[in-house]
Structure 1
Amino acid sequence: MTILITAGPTREAIDPVRYLTNRSSGKMGYALADAAAQKGHRVILVSGPTEIDVPDGIDFIPTESAADMYQAVEYWIGKADIAIFAAAVADYRPAQIAEQKIKKSGDTLTLELVRNPDILGSARSTFGFNGVLVGFAAETEDVEENALGKLERKGCDLVVANDVSRKDIGFDSNENEILLVYPDRIVPLEKASKHHLGHQLIEVVEGMITPSNHQ
């Protein structure tokens, strides 16, 4: 099967030297890509900037901004049976990018932000993707409720949720503890290395393939 995976953060330029980003390390997405490749799947990894070595045997598509990632996913998703959106995509970007470095002047600086295109939310409606769709929800409160809302709004078959307010799991950690949120049930996976969870999640999504969504 062909599995499309997004990973890492995005960077939204403010000026030639500054950008807005987030704390995503990309470790979970890369663990998924590595696990899927080891199981013999074709893997298309669309990644924001990370410090991680690219796993062997995959198609690697580097991106920078949310708009870059949107275009890459739009191009590649039609080739996929499964799409797993593990990237932490910026919701907003600066309305204008300064052509020169912004110099320090007053005591405050106001940035106007505009909304980025919704990559996960576009998978069904805009990209016409009919395969297995998996989203990620990095939450700091009401984890189950927020993940269920995301599942319904975005047309996902599964949302993988975790509490990123905890210091022992999530962003920079090599470990994670997640909830598998389905339309009709929630299944917790115990705290483990992201490598181990990557293999578990690939097995889960393999089991979700049916003749109707396998191209």
Structure 2
Amino acid sequence: FGFKALRSLRLEDLRIPVAYCKTFQGAPHGIQVERDKLNKYGRGLLGCTIKPKLGLSAKNYGRACYECLRGGLDFTKDDENVNSQAFMRWRDRFLFVSEAIYKSQAETGEIKGHYLNVTAGTCEEMMKRAECAAGFGVPIVMHDYLTGGFTANTSLSIYCRDNGLLLHIHRAMHAVIDRQRNHGMHFRVLAKALRMSGGDHLHSGTVVGKLE
């Protein structure tokens, strides 16, 4: 904010006019479309994040996804750091995870999914990864919207809406902005901004556990 007279400043909430909200597309699809795509109703959707988050080969990562999905989960998920490291390039991960999804679907008779992280260093690379995911026929992708940026997120959201992909949003880097009680922004502000930019669901903390 740049004013010397203010030592700290925190934005707690936003009231956004309806007319202004209507200039944004919002979520690519929403919960009802997600349930329709998965053919799952009347209960919560159960998933998990694959651990360890770093160090697995693409083949072993895909095997872990298969075991989770075959065991009864609806979704598995990339962590925010899972991107395209030397030990697991993104295209290899996408391939082995897609195989895990189709194999578990065939054996269980249920529709399964995995949140493939398409976050990249440029918008062009991000879109290339999203197109690859769509080509493999997976139902959902993931984006780190604070590190990737709102413009990149909006572009990805529009692509997901046009191509039938669900979009999960990870909140990586949020604590730098919302953790201090007297400075920064409340998480509800970040969530509202994301809702306008576009995302079907947003990563959040837990009632109990390690995450706030």
Q: Which has the higher strand share?
A: 1
Q: With a CA cutoff of 8 Å and minimum separation of 6, indicate the structure with the bigger relative contact order.
A: 2
Q: Which has the higher helix share?
A: 2
The reply to whether TM is greater than 0.5 is: no
What is the TM-score of this pair, normalised by structure 1?
Answer: 0.37
